[in-house]
Structure 1
Amino acid sequence: MFRVFSGLWALLLGMMLLQVGNGMQGTLLGIRGVLEGFSTGQLSIVMSAYFVGFLFGSRMAPEMIRRVGHVRVFAALGSMISAVLILYPTIADPWAWSVGRVVIGFCFSGVYVTAESWLNNSATNATRGKALSLYMIVQMVGIVMAQGLLVLADPAGYVLFVIPCVLVSLSFAPILLSVSPTPSFATTKPLSLLQILKISPLGCVGMLLTGGVFAAQFGMAAIYGSEAGLSVGQISTFVASFYVAAVVAQYPLGWLSDRMDRRVLIAIVSMVTGIGAVIGMVLGDNFWFLLLAAWLVGGSSNPLYSLLIAYTNDFLDRDDMAAAAGGMVFINGFGAIAGPLMVGWMMGVMGPGGYFLYIAILMFALVGYAVYRMTQRPTRVASPIDGLQVVMPYSSQMAPEFAQDLATDAAQDGKST
């Protein structure tokens, strides 16, 4: 593991700093927007705008990299991210923030595509698994660290906006100054969305619904906390709980998914998410029950992303798996765009409790659809190449392709021994 880290430390350090900046600005905007008097509806548009940019960035970034290379894309997108971050407190207007969030989402998507393709090309068959694990770890560490930094200054001031701006700027230094050669770039041609829907209706519906739930966590959790009257420290702890629980639950659920009908596990995990949301809606006035709700929702909904990709792979040929990954991420992105808008509307109608009600509705709907799909066709036993590979929902479409390369290499190595 140390040898792998020594070869990829620049990229991994840069990505961790980027995640600190991204996680910090997402939570901070929710808190600052409430202080500025923005309505819940206005803030939901601001939060949704990030995913609009992210979706378009995931489609355009590969062509940008092919035309000008990894280094130039990194430098250009990084400078734009820093510029937008520092502009937020100077233009306290929800529409200006929405435009900034589109730009931020586009840039972060491009950065993730660049970093993940670079990481995949830099890894060998022997190091790919460790490299992917380290990448997921540093991403999670970055997001959790971001929540801790929010208590360092008053969210009504400028300092908390300067910190992510500086961290994002610094994140590119180790990457751009690294002596590692930049790789060539190639992407697979994705399957059409209609083809993927025919192959795995549950996978597509599940990705759409989990996209909405993830967006509620990433974009609206801080707004919920502000509307519920939580302190900045409590909001930070609440948001961090989603992601810490996700890390704890990913690998046990992955182990289970390769040993049972994935549809049953998807239904069970979705049920746990829904129950957690009900606890948050009914008992959220008590902070400890609120944290329990965050743990249940985050620890079950985030692993669903990997479970749904693995389930879809059960019905794909090896050559189509990476191609389908891009389409699945695209479907997830559409759900993420709609998520904050729906949450904002529901919170505007019924108060903070609408946040958890939205999550409960989506997850119980997924439970029902998973049970229905069990009656439509028999399950398939996962082969070694179909096994679940841990991928977080805030990565680009390159991460599932990276994970699939790992599964392919492992299966081929197993056949050759």
Structure 2
Amino acid sequence: MIQVLRTTWPLLLGMMLLMVGNGVQGTLLGIRGAEAGFSTFAMSVVMSAYFLGFLGGSRLAPELIRRVGHVRVFAALGSLISAVLVMYPALTEPWAWTLGRVIIGFCFSGVYVTAESWLNNAVTNEIRGKALSLYMIVQMAGIVCAQGLLILDDPTGFVLFIIPSVLVSIAFAPILLSVNPTPAFDNTKPMKLSKLWETSPLGCVGMIALGGVFSALFGMAAVYGTLQGMNVPQIALFMAVIYTGGLVLQYPIGWLSDRMDRRMLITVVALVAALACLVPLVGSYNYSVLLVVAFLVGGCSNPLYSLFIAYTNDFLEYEDMAAASGGLIFINGLGAIAGPLVVGWIMGLVGPSGFFLFLSLICFGLVVYAVYRMTQRAAPSVDETGSYAPVSASASVVAVEVAQEYYIDTAQEEEEAAAAEAAG
């Protein structure tokens, strides 16, 4: 791990600052929108816009990088992010925020593609798995730390929008001044969705469902907290616990996934999340209980993303895994766009409880479908499956392809070791 830090610390520091900026704006808009009198549906459109931009950026950013280079793309997108962050309080209108979220989603997607290309280029095969894990930890830590900034000032003012704008601007200094020479960029063409469906129906259903879950947590949790009557420190802690759960439970679930039928683990993890979401629906409001629920929901949903990728890989040849990652991310993006819109519609019908109602329905749906798929074909032997590689649900296709490389390298090393042991 020391070797990874020595090689990549400027990039990791810059990405952490960027994630602080991104984490603040997502939660802050949810609070500020309610204060400004935006309807629940209007806020759902605003929150969905980020994921529309993110999906567009994941498709277009690679072409921009090929045309003008990593440095120019990185600097241009960073400037746009910083500008939009200070635009929000100056133009408090749903249409303006929706446009700003599209732009920010597009820009962050391009920034992730660029930074993750540099990360992949900066490390060797021997430490790629550790670098990927550390990168994910930095991302999650940045979002968690961002929630603490919300208590520094009044959300109805300008200061909380200026701070993330400054952090984003500063974030590019260590990266652009210290990064290694820009790597060659070659983006893999995504696998056709029809072939991906034939390979793993559960993987496809799981990824689109998780897109809705993740976007609901990232975009609408603060709106839920505001409607529930939480104060700003309570909303900040509520959001931080969601991401902390995703970080803490990632590795225990990953360890289990390499030692049992992944469909069974998917079923159990989704069931825990679904049952946790029922607690706020059947009991009276209790903030302490809500924090436990947030930890479990975040802790179950984030690892499921990596788990569905690993499960899909179990039915792919090595040479098809990188192409499959592009298709899975596209499917996940479609779910992410729909998630806030559906949550906003349900919350408009039944009130704040619609937030957890949506999450519980999606998770119960995953449980039912996973059980159904277990009746359709046998699971591959645990000895024949590859290693679980942790990936954040906000990662770009580059990070997922790096995870695929790690998956392949680990699987090949295990095969070679098994062959050597059999021969000896």
With the length of structure 2 as denominator, give the TM-score of the two structures: 0.96
Gaps of 5+ in 1: none
The residue number in structure 2 matching 1:302 is 302
Bigger mean CA offset, 131-140 vs 35-44: 131-140
The residue number in structure 1 matching 2:420 is none
The residue number in structure 2 matching 1:251 is 251
**Offset of residue 381 of structure 1:** 2.0
Counterpart Cα distance in 2 of 1:212 and 1:29 = 19
The residue number in structure 1 matching 2:151 is 151
**Offset of residue 179 of structure 1:** 5.0
The residue number in structure 2 matching 1:261 is 261
Q: How many residues align?
A: 417
Counterpart Cα distance in 2 of 1:125 and 1:300 = 29
The residue number in structure 1 matching 2:16 is 16
The residue number in structure 1 matching 2:173 is 173
**Offset of residue 282 of structure 1:** 2.7
Amino acid at match of 2:57: G
**Structure-2 change in CA distance of 1:155 and 1:291 (3 Å):** same
The residue number in structure 2 matching 1:206 is 206
Do 1:385 and 1:410's aligned partners in 2 also have CA atoms closer than 8 Å?
Answer: no
The residue number in structure 1 matching 2:314 is 314
Do 1:283 and 1:289's aligned partners in 2 also have CA atoms closer than 8 Å?
Answer: no
Please list, as runs of the form range in 1=range in 2, the aligned pairs for 1:8-407 lying within 5 A after superposition.
8-178=8-178, 180-283=180-283, 285-382=285-382, 386-407=386-407
Residues 251-271 of structure 1 deviation map (CA, whole Å, 9 limit, x = unaligned) = 111111111111111111111
Amino acid at match of 1:177: L
Gaps of 5+ in 2: 418-424
Counterpart Cα distance in 2 of 1:22 and 1:383 = 40
Residues 145-176 of structure 1 deviation map (CA, whole Å, 9 limit, x = unaligned) = 00011000000000000011000001101111
What SS does structure 1 have at the residue aligned with 2:150? helix
Counterpart Cα distance in 1 of 2:138 and 2:24 = 15
What SS does structure 1 have at the residue aligned with 2:151? helix
**Offset of residue 411 of structure 1:** 3.3
Do 2:24 and 2:146's aligned partners in 1 also have CA atoms closer than 8 Å?
Answer: yes
Bigger mean CA offset, 380-389 vs 10-19: 380-389
With the length of structure 1 as denominator, give the TM-score of the two structures: 0.98
**Offset of residue 407 of structure 1:** 2.0
Counterpart Cα distance in 2 of 1:212 and 1:267 = 18
**Structure-2 change in CA distance of 1:168 and 1:383 (3 Å):** farther
**Structure-2 change in CA distance of 1:326 and 1:88 (3 Å):** same
Counterpart Cα distance in 2 of 1:360 and 1:299 = 14
Amino acid at match of 1:265: L
What SS does structure 1 have at the residue aligned with 2:185? coil
Do 2:273 and 2:360's aligned partners in 1 also have CA atoms closer than 8 Å?
Answer: yes
Counterpart Cα distance in 2 of 1:172 and 1:395 = 18
**Offset of residue 281 of structure 1:** 2.3
**Structure-2 change in CA distance of 1:54 and 1:279 (3 Å):** same
Do 2:11 and 2:179's aligned partners in 1 also have CA atoms closer than 8 Å?
Answer: no
Alpha-carbon RMSD across the aligned residues, in angstroms, is 1.2
Counterpart Cα distance in 1 of 2:282 and 2:299 = 19
What SS does structure 2 have at the residue aligned with 1:127? helix
Do 1:385 and 1:407's aligned partners in 2 also have CA atoms closer than 8 Å?
Answer: no
